[in-house]
Amino acid sequence: MGAVSTTFVAGTLLIRKGLAPPTGSLAEMGTVRLGKRNEGRTPLIKDFVPLASLDDLVFGAWDIFEDNGYEAARTAGVIEPSMLEQVRPELEAIKPWPAVFDQRYVKRLMGTNVKTGANKLEIAGQVRADIRAFKEANGLDRLVMIWCGSTEIFMTPTAVHDSIEAFEQALESNADDIPSSMVYAYAALVEGIPYANAAPNLSADIPALDRLAIDNGSPVAGKDLKTGQTLIKTIVAPGLKARLIGVAGWFSTNILGNRDGEVLDDPESFKTKEESKKSVLDYILQPDLYPTLYRNLCHVVRINYYPPRGDNKEGWDNIDLVGWLGYPMQLKVNFLCRDSILAAPIVLDLVLFLDLAKRAGMSGIQEWLSFYFKSPVHAPGLYPEHDLFIQLMKLKNTLRFMRGEELITHLGLEYYD
Ligand X SMILES: NC(=O)c1ccc[n+]([C@@H]2O[C@H](COP(=O)([O-])OP(=O)(O)OC[C@H]3O[C@@H](n4cnc5c(N)ncnc54)[C@H](O)[C@@H]3O)[C@@H](O)[C@H]2O)c1
- Residue 21 identity: P
State yes or no: residue 365 binds ligand X (CB under 6 A).
no
What letters, b where the CB count within 10 A reaches 16 and e where it falls short, cover 296-308? ebebebebebeee
Task: Enumerate the β-bridge partners of residue 98.
Answer: 63
Q: What is the DSSP code (8-state) at residue 151? A: P
d(CA 120, CA 4): 26
Q: 3-state class of 107 per DSSP? A: coil
State yes or no: residue 356 binds ligand X (CB under 6 A).
no
User: What's the closest the beta carbon of residue 258 comes to ligand X, in angstroms?
Assistant: 5
Name the CA radius of gyration of the chain, rounded. 22
- Applying CB under 6 A, the span of 48-56, 258-266, 300-308, 376-384 interacting with ligand X comes to 258-266
State yes or no: residue 99 binds ligand X (CB under 6 A).
yes
Task: Enumerate the β-bridge partners of residue 97.
Answer: 62
d(CA 28, CA 22): 7
State yes or no: residue 4 binds ligand X (CB under 6 A).
yes
User: What's the closest the beta carbon of residue 255 comes to ligand X, in angstroms?
Assistant: 14
What x-and-dash track marks residues 47-76 binding ligand X by CB under 6 A? Answer: ---------------xxxx----------x
d(CA 45, CA 32): 6
What x-and-dash track marks residues 147-186 binding ligand X by CB under 6 A? Answer: -xxxx----------------------------x------
- Applying CB under 6 A, the span of 95-103, 214-222, 235-243, 382-390 interacting with ligand X comes to 95-103
- Length of the chain in terms of residues written: 417
User: What's the closest the beta carbon of residue 191 comes to ligand X, in angstroms?
Assistant: 17
What x-and-dash track marks residues 186-225 binding ligand X by CB under 6 A? Answer: ------------xx------------------------xx
The separation between CA 135 and the C-alpha centre of its own chain, rounded to angstroms, equals 24
Question: Exposure of 381 by Cβ count < 10 A (0-12 exposed, 13-18 middle, 19+ buried)?
Answer: exposed
Q: 3-state class of 5 per DSSP? A: helix
| Count of Cβ atoms closer than 10 Å to residue 197 Cβ | 28
- Applying CB under 6 A, the span of 8-16, 132-140, 144-152, 212-220 interacting with ligand X comes to 144-152
User: What's the closest the beta carbon of residue 32 comes to ligand X, in angstroms?
Assistant: 26
Contacting residue, 12, 25, 218, 227, with ligand X by CB under 6 A = 227
User: What's the closest the beta carbon of residue 2 comes to ligand X, in angstroms?
Assistant: 2
State yes or no: residue 123 binds ligand X (CB under 6 A).
no
Complete edge-to-edge strand list for the sheet that includes strand 246-256 = 298-305, 246-256, 314-322, 328-336
DSSP string covering 49-91 = TTPPPGGG-----EESS---HHHHHHHHT-S-HHHHHTTHHHH
Number of H-type helices and E-type strands within the chain: 16, 10
d(CA 406, CA 417): 19
Q: What is the DSSP code (8-state) at residue 173? A: T
State yes or no: residue 339 binds ligand X (CB under 6 A).
yes
d(CA 3, CA 76): 5
State yes or no: residue 2 binds ligand X (CB under 6 A).
yes
Residue nearest to ligand X (CB): 2
Contact 63, 115 (CB under 8 A): no
| Nearer residue to ligand X within complex by CB, 188 or 402 | 188
Contacting residue, 32, 106, 121, 395, with ligand X by CB under 6 A = 106
User: What's the closest the beta carbon of residue 238 comes to ligand X, in angstroms?
Assistant: 20
User: What's the closest the beta carbon of residue 237 comes to ligand X, in angstroms?
Assistant: 18
Contacting residue, 1, 84, 208, 237, with ligand X by CB under 6 A = 1
User: What's the closest the beta carbon of residue 3 comes to ligand X, in angstroms?
Assistant: 4
State yes or no: residue 97 binds ligand X (CB under 6 A).
no
d(CA 169, CA 166): 5
Contacting residue, 260, 274, 317, 349, with ligand X by CB under 6 A = 260
| Nearer residue to ligand X within complex by CB, 22 or 98 | 98
Q: 3-state class of 97 per DSSP? A: strand
- Applying CB under 6 A, the span of 97-105, 122-130, 208-216, 302-310 interacting with ligand X comes to 97-105
| Nearer residue to ligand X within complex by CB, 153 or 284 | 153
| Nearer residue to ligand X within complex by CB, 227 or 370 | 227
**What is the contact surface with ligand X in residues (CB under 6 A)?**
1-4, 62-65, 76, 99-101, 106, 109, 111, 148-151, 180, 198-199, 224-225, 227-228, 258-260, 263, 339-340, 342-343
